[in-house]
Structure 1
Amino acid sequence: MSDQGAAAFYDARPWERCYGTHHGTDPTLQELTTVADIARRRAEQTPRLPAYTACLENGLHASLDFATVDRLADCFAAWLIAEAGIRPGDRVALQMPNSLPYPIAVFGTLRAGAVLVNINPLFTPREMQHQLSDSGARVLVIVDLFADKLSGALTGTAVEEVVLTGIADLFPWLKRGLVHGVLRAKREIPAAPPNARRLGAVLSRGEHLGPQPWPERGADDLALLQYTGGTTGLPKGAELRNRNILANLGQISAMAGDAIRPGQDVVLTALPLYHIFAFTFNLLTFHHYGCRNILCPSPRPVDKLRKAFEQFPVSKFSAVNLLFHGLLQAEWFRNNPPRHLDFAIAGGTALHRSTAEQWRSLLGHTPLEGYGLTETSPVLAVNPPHGENRLGSVGVPLPGTDVRIVDDNDQPVPQGQTGEIVGRGPQVFEGYWQRPEENRLALRGGWFHTGDIGYMDSDGYIHIVDRKKDMIDVSGFNVYPNEVEEALAEHPAVAEVAVVGAPRGEAGETVVAFVVTPGDEELTEPELIDFARQQLTNYKVPRRVIFRDALPKSAVGKLLRRDLREDARAVIEPAAA
């Protein structure tokens, strides 16, 4: 097949005939200009419906209705504008687990005209400092459990205001006091920095200030700086504009059709909202539809979700393969599967066929596997809810999305042949924050180059055969070797280092480091792993360190990680056995 013939196959969009008969557009989304409009519109339509319920592992819970979310978002926005001095386009960073303050801070930040920057709460001070300094964030909202990281994280950043939240903030006072009292007794809440403010005081001050002249923001304005490793290197901010995110909401809505019931569904959010998948799908989509969102701070171990499943009629659920697998292994879940649950979607990492089949056997439906990236807001493709759910595939491109498989010269390859997955559509970002060279490479020819390798079958279903070059998938979290290598290289006894991933069953991969030390330096595996724990989030820390006299390199001195992968596999597999 010629290049023209291959291009014609993709241009014909064969996937559109696979959507099914119940998909369609939601006209109300077309009336929105910014992401912040979602909260205002929903508060006007169904003010007293429950919007968010935070459910802790002990079963304690508290809820906010849509009107209260909107009102408190106004309070936070008023404080940002009047007292924090935030102006349109300034960045506000949020670093907290799933909890009631999170949607308040999201919609308040956007209403103030600021740009949202999500940060993983588990990040080390070193990782925080990179993201805060790179984004230029002026305000940081952080959960008080990790306030001890601030002294090392704020150096060299533009952060002027720090707002502390608690895991039970916005609970009734008795429940809030009980939860925070227990945490303090266990010494899990460190001393607060002297200049930090509490969220409750900020909201009270914002309420006293009253509504401000809200900045006018448009569809082209930046809404979110969502950090990702992209295809290489240290995390960088993908610039997601209002129109990118709203377009993806519209595409999700078109695919879902009547699979989502406005005002009726209850979604359990166990995946972290600071991740783009849960942010767009769980937070924004279900807020737009007026559905109740059950927020769980952590899904690990899966027993932490038991009370949420038992106390609420959960009908929608999103997860990664490891979480599906974990629930299926839990006796309480198998013995009493949630009887209202009729829809589950899988993303972040490949859904194992055995896991999907066990889920279907227990619950009567197969999780819909999808595919997306931070740079695509994030959904690029999904198995259609009203079409064929094809196991082993990540589904078909969303409406209005073009996907091609291309060779090393960016020429489309024939249907069924393997190449790099590239895409374009209204949800695709326009570039990384202050990274012009990265943008040139990632968006060449008007197509976003995902770095993922796959093929498309005759019906337009996408099959991924390899993840991004060199990227390591640890339980659904992306680990980029360059970042880990840079952290390990700071140890004075490390001369050279290469990091690769080795398969680890249901958990995806494990991180393995190959290290060369100077001849006169002594370094042990436990010592270097302990050093890594001080520099990196736990899932990025190597589980094995292998010492070598030299590392394989190309003629120009580039590390050849591919030559180390089999060695890493040989070390990990016997240990797993």
Structure 2
Amino acid sequence: MTMTVSNRPWLAAYEPEIAPELPQPNYASLAHLISHSCAAYAKRRAFTCVVPNGMNGTLTYKQVGAMSDAFASFLRHHCKLSPGARVAVQLPNGLGYPVAAFGVFKAGGVLVNTNPLYTPSEMVHQFNDSGAEVLVISDLFADKLEEVIAQTGIKHVVLAGVPEFFPRIPETIVRGVQKFWSRSLPPVPALNVPVLRLRDALKIGRGLEDVTDWDTLSSDDLALLQYTGGTTGVAKGAMLTHGNILANLEQVKVMGGQHMSGEDCVLTALPLYHIFAFTANLMTFFDLGARNILVPSPRPVQNIQRALENYPVTWITGVNTLFNGLMNEEWFAAYPPKTLKAAIAGGTALHQAVAERWQDVTGTRVAEGYGLTETSPLVSFNPLHLAVRAGSIGVPVPGTDVALVDDAAEPVEQGKPGELLVKGPQVMRGYWNRPEDTAQTLQNGWVFTGDVAVMDEDGFLTIVDRKKDMVLVSGFNVYPNEIEDCLSKLDTVLEAAVIGVPDRATGEAVRAYVVQNPDVPDHVTKESVIAHCRKYLAAYKVPKSVILRDELPKSPIGKILRKDLKAEARAEFAGKV
């Protein structure tokens, strides 16, 4: 496929100092960037981890540098890892995560980010698919090891706790509370591979030769095997190079412009093992010399309260459900953070009602962006100097081209919906060991995103929906995002998800799953949902069925999983239509 981009209407939306093309990154690799920041900002506080009771631990840039150096030496000399070897890091947000991840890069290894909540079967798949040789895992989930390790090529296991590197007394208290309430710190079972605490691994590393050859890394070398969330099937490892991530960091910083600096304090409630927080929170703000406030788990949302009350947070990244949840908290609505500059939304569609309410509650905007695991992730962003465009994911970031095409991969007319294609320096090399999937998704440098979008005359993009989530009702295209956005305006609805289900008369019919808003005295009913939709939607878009739920299935970052609801519906309708 050959695609030509003749004009770029979005360039006019850039601030005057933004060049259309992306400048070359200042670093040859992520290890180079990390080492530079640790030296340049040595005395600054880099990371503070805050647990729900307010206890915390902090590492300076200098400490992060020394610890990640030691972990790199541990990997290369004690674990005998060769450059390019895979290291799986399965940790929630905490001080152990940057130490481990940065050490992997300094050792010339490839980071395999792994969800701590994975089941043993999911762990076995990812470790074997990636070829991971070392695993850094939270001690909260050590009970999974016995079932997993024997089925994989893991040769070394390192355990880290949520209060890792906290001062001794807070660490002891937090570990005691975890044991008492969750009873989730069982003895580590006897394994056929060595098991070490992270502190012990660093102690070993400090006694070994420094790893000094990371400077041989180039931008073309593989940095991450970042597995897709599996929302559309079996998780695949996107091969992201040092150059991909470095380019995306520049794109983030360019779009942030004068609004982002080393004086910032970013709240990181989204998991660092997810590409959104990894790039936007961890790497971008570390490059700037700013401070990261790490929250191990944002669920329930009250877990964020102490972090927001005790630290001068200037940026928050999140998904629609996080922002919605915060505003339903009395403590947040009454005392929103005074130092906040803006919030960044991504991962899933931001509902207009949520964005408007956030502006009213906090006095700041939610700037929506768009990205994919396959693009490191940022593709587009709403310029902060312009007025908010409701529902838009903004304009392509510098150095990025986009195209909208029909099912025949032919460009659509301006203003018409089409599948969004992306090309730029942040685009992955391909999927690890999956040439067929790579050929389907990546063609001549263009990523076929599977998302349907429209572009206005100014180059601003709006996602209509996932191509695979579109519902076909009597030949009419129905996009779940539109209906979900409509439902978000109903006071009695806290959350909603829309899918298509089989229907004898229309082929497919719209079904809505809704959750009651606990802060509203009136009860949501099937009849009230349908009546509300009839006011604002064409008849064929109105849900034919409404299911009331206590909660909806979500991914680790809070994205509502339509695929799980579709699976339920398939089982329900099997053999009936």
**Are 1:261 and 2:261 an aligned pair?**
yes
5 Å-filtered alignment, 1:45-444, equals 45-186=40-181, 187-194=183-190, 195-215=194-214, 216-228=216-228, 232-262=232-262, 264-444=263-443
Q: Equivalents in 2 of 1:506, 1:41: separation in Å?
A: 48
Q: Equivalents in 2 of 1:296, 1:503: separation in Å?
A: 32
Q: Equivalents in 1 of 2:125, 2:510: separation in Å?
A: 24
> Structure 1 stretches of 5 or more lacking a match?
482-499, 508-536, 553-577
Q: Equivalents in 1 of 2:423, 2:171: separation in Å?
A: 46
Q: Equivalents in 1 of 2:453, 2:21: separation in Å?
A: 31
Q: Equivalents in 1 of 2:256, 2:572: separation in Å?
A: 51
Shift of residue 551, structure 1, vs aligned partner: 6.3
Give the structure 2 partner of residue 516 of structure 1.
Answer: none
Q: Equivalents in 2 of 1:214, 1:292: separation in Å?
A: 28
Q: Equivalents in 1 of 2:510, 2:245: separation in Å?
A: 32
Q: Deviations over 1:23-65 (max 9, x none)?
A: 4699997220101122211112110000000001100011100
One-letter identity of the residue aligned with 1:79: F
Q: Equivalents in 1 of 2:206, 2:113: separation in Å?
A: 25
**Are 1:550 and 2:575 an aligned pair?**
yes
- Could you tell me whether the CA contact under 8 Å between 2:19 and 2:398 is conserved in 1? no
- Could you tell me whether the CA contact under 8 Å between 1:93 and 1:139 is conserved in 2? yes
Q: Equivalents in 1 of 2:266, 2:293: separation in Å?
A: 6
Give the secondary-structure state (helix, strand or coil) at the position aligned to 2:25: helix
With 204-213 and 345-354 compared, the bigger mean Cα shift is at 204-213
Give the secondary-structure state (helix, strand or coil) at the position aligned to 1:30: coil
- Could you tell me whether the CA contact under 8 Å between 1:25 and 1:250 is conserved in 2? no
Shift of residue 193, structure 1, vs aligned partner: 3.1
Q: Equivalents in 2 of 1:185, 1:232: separation in Å?
A: 38
Shift of residue 115, structure 1, vs aligned partner: 0.2
Give the secondary-structure state (helix, strand or coil) at the position aligned to 1:62: strand
**Are 1:11 and 2:6 an aligned pair?**
yes
Shift of residue 547, structure 1, vs aligned partner: 3.9
TM-score normalised by length of structure 2: 0.81
Shift of residue 184, structure 1, vs aligned partner: 2.4
Question: How many correspondences in the alignment?
Answer: 495
With 538-547 and 128-137 compared, the bigger mean Cα shift is at 538-547
Q: Equivalents in 2 of 1:229, 1:334: separation in Å?
A: 32
Q: Deviations over 1:362-405 (max 9, x none)?
A: 22222001100000000000111123431111110000100000
- Could you tell me whether the CA contact under 8 Å between 2:140 and 2:161 is conserved in 1? yes
TM-score normalised by length of structure 1: 0.81
Q: Deviations over 1:87-134 (max 9, x none)?
A: 111100000100000000111001001000001111111111111110
Shift of residue 315, structure 1, vs aligned partner: 0.5
Q: Deviations over 1:502-539 (max 9, x none)?
A: 644589xxxxxxxxxxxxxxxxxxxxxxxxxxxxx997
Shift of residue 231, structure 1, vs aligned partner: 8.5
For the aligned residue pairs, the C-alpha RMSD in angstroms reads: 2.8
Q: Equivalents in 1 of 2:11, 2:85: separation in Å?
A: 40
Shift of residue 196, structure 1, vs aligned partner: 1.5
Seen in structure 2, the aligned counterparts of structure 1 residues 115 and 343 have a Cα distance that, compared at 3 Å, is same
> Structure 2 stretches of 5 or more lacking a match?
471-479, 489-496, 500-508, 517-558
Q: Percent identity?
A: 46
- Could you tell me whether the CA contact under 8 Å between 2:106 and 2:211 is conserved in 1? no
Give the structure 2 partner of residue 569 of structure 1.
Answer: none
Shift of residue 304, structure 1, vs aligned partner: 0.6
- Could you tell me whether the CA contact under 8 Å between 2:340 and 2:364 is conserved in 1? no
One-letter identity of the residue aligned with 1:236: K
- Could you tell me whether the CA contact under 8 Å between 2:345 and 2:366 is conserved in 1? yes
Q: Equivalents in 2 of 1:137, 1:442: separation in Å?
A: 25
Q: Equivalents in 1 of 2:323, 2:316: separation in Å?
A: 10
One-letter identity of the residue aligned with 2:375: T
Seen in structure 2, the aligned counterparts of structure 1 residues 549 and 94 have a Cα distance that, compared at 3 Å, is closer
Q: Equivalents in 2 of 1:426, 1:353: separation in Å?
A: 31
Give the structure 1 partner of residue 448 of structure 2.
Answer: 449
Give the structure 1 partner of residue 549 of structure 2.
Answer: none
Q: Deviations over 1:338-363 (max 9, x none)?
A: 00001110001111111101111122
One-letter identity of the residue aligned with 1:331: E
Seen in structure 2, the aligned counterparts of structure 1 residues 201 and 27 have a Cα distance that, compared at 3 Å, is farther
